[in-house]
Amino acid sequence: LTVDSSELRDSLFSESEKRQLQAIDTLLSDPSHGDHWTLLQEFLLSFKSQAVNWRGAKVYRALWQGDNLKIQDFLDEHFPQGFVPLTSEAGIDYSPIEAALLDEVYELADRLTLQKMCELAGDSAVQRKWVYFSEVNQFPVTDLQTLDTLWLVYSEGKFGFSVQREMWLGVGKVWEKLWPKMGWKKENIWTRYPGGFTWDLSAPKGHLPLTNQLRGVRVMDSLMTHPAFNPSTF
Ligand code: UYC
């Protein structure tokens, strides 16, 4: 490695998020360049022994969207199941959600999230196409964390239940203060599904995934208070 690329390497593995992002931008501007490709591989492989984060997912997504065969082969070989470990205690396959998020089709990812939550709840929820708060309470910690990680890492940390939960705690658990912050209510009027929502990263923090409020706030409350997002359970 040249002096330049060893400096790039330091930045890539730096604790400073800003420095890391600059390195990522440089590397992704020409990923198949020899030194760049060496570093990108090392960076992605580091997530085999370390929790995934959105910087890793950003690199994975950019390479996944590209059309370089050598790069595609590397991803197929080392990440045949996608980037995020899709752990499920319930035996549910979350890969369609990851595929939608990789494609940046956030509306489909949101639909699939609801569908998978119905699967988690069982056959009757799949039939009725929505979930009871009492079913959400019984969701395995692992599965909700997998769903949350998917949203988190493919949104640069902007979306996900854990983000919504932090915002909810930040407004003293007052729902009416939460809705406008997430863009679910504007000038005291509910945002209309689906056209009123913003299906990309220009959305407000916590905008996605959606939880329909038609039947009240209890499902959302069950999500926000679930042990999956409660640090005291660990
Ligand atoms: N919808 O307004 N929503 C639907 C949201 C409300 C309504 C689906 C979110 C308010 C009806 C999703 C908000 C309301 C349907 C969401 C929102 C309302 C529907 C599809 C802001 C009227 C048709 C999944 C809080 C004043 C479905 C699903 C039906 C659908 C999400 C109406 C994801 C976050 C109170 C009539 N809305 N929803 O659940 O059941 O069907 O007929 O929240």
pLDDT of 194:
98
pLDDT of 1:
63
Question: Which helix or strand (DSSP H or E) is residue 130 part of?
Answer: none
Residue 110 CA: which ligand 1 atom is closest?
Answer: 33
**Residues 111, 114: Cα–Cα separation, whole Å:** 5
Q: Looking at residues 125-142, what average pLDDT do you find? A: 98
How confident is residue 5, by pLDDT bands cut at 50, 70 and 90?
Answer: confident
Residue 92 has pLDDT above 70, yes or no: yes
pLDDT of 196:
98
Q: What separation in Å is there between the alpha carbon of 109 and the centre of ligand 1? A: 16
Question: Which helix or strand (DSSP H or E) is residue 68 part of?
Answer: none
Percent of the chain with pLDDT over 90: 95
40-55 b/e (C-beta count within 10 Å ≥ 16 → b): beebbeebeeeebbbb
The average confidence (pLDDT) of the chain is 96
pTM assigned to the model: 0.96
Give the number of other Cβ atoms within 10 Å of residue 98's Cβ.
24
**Residues 124, 168: Cα–Cα separation, whole Å:** 30
184 lines ligand 1 (CB under 6 A): yes
Q: State both tokens at 50.
A: 């370390």
Q: State both tokens at 123.
A: 């056959």
pLDDT digits (tens, 9 = 90+) for 26-49: 999 999 998 999 999 999 999 999
126 lines ligand 1 (CB under 6 A): no
pLDDT of 94:
98
User: Which residue's alpha carbon is nearest to atom 42 within ligand 1?
Assistant: 214
Distances (CA, A) of 171 to 50, 63, 175, 182, 230: 32, 38, 8, 12, 17
pLDDT digits (tens, 9 = 90+) for 189-231: 999 999 999 999 999 999 999 999 999 999 999 999 999 998 7
Q: What separation in Å is there between the alpha carbon of 40 and the centre of ligand 1? A: 42
pLDDT of 230:
87
| Residue that is written with structure tokens 């932090």 in the block | 166
User: Which residue's alpha carbon is nearest to atom 21 within ligand 1?
Assistant: 184
pLDDT digits (tens, 9 = 90+) for 138-188: 999 999 999 999 999 999 999 999 999 999 999 999 999 999 999 999 999
Q: What is the predicted ipTM?
A: 0.96
How confident is residue 4, by pLDDT bands cut at 50, 70 and 90?
Answer: confident
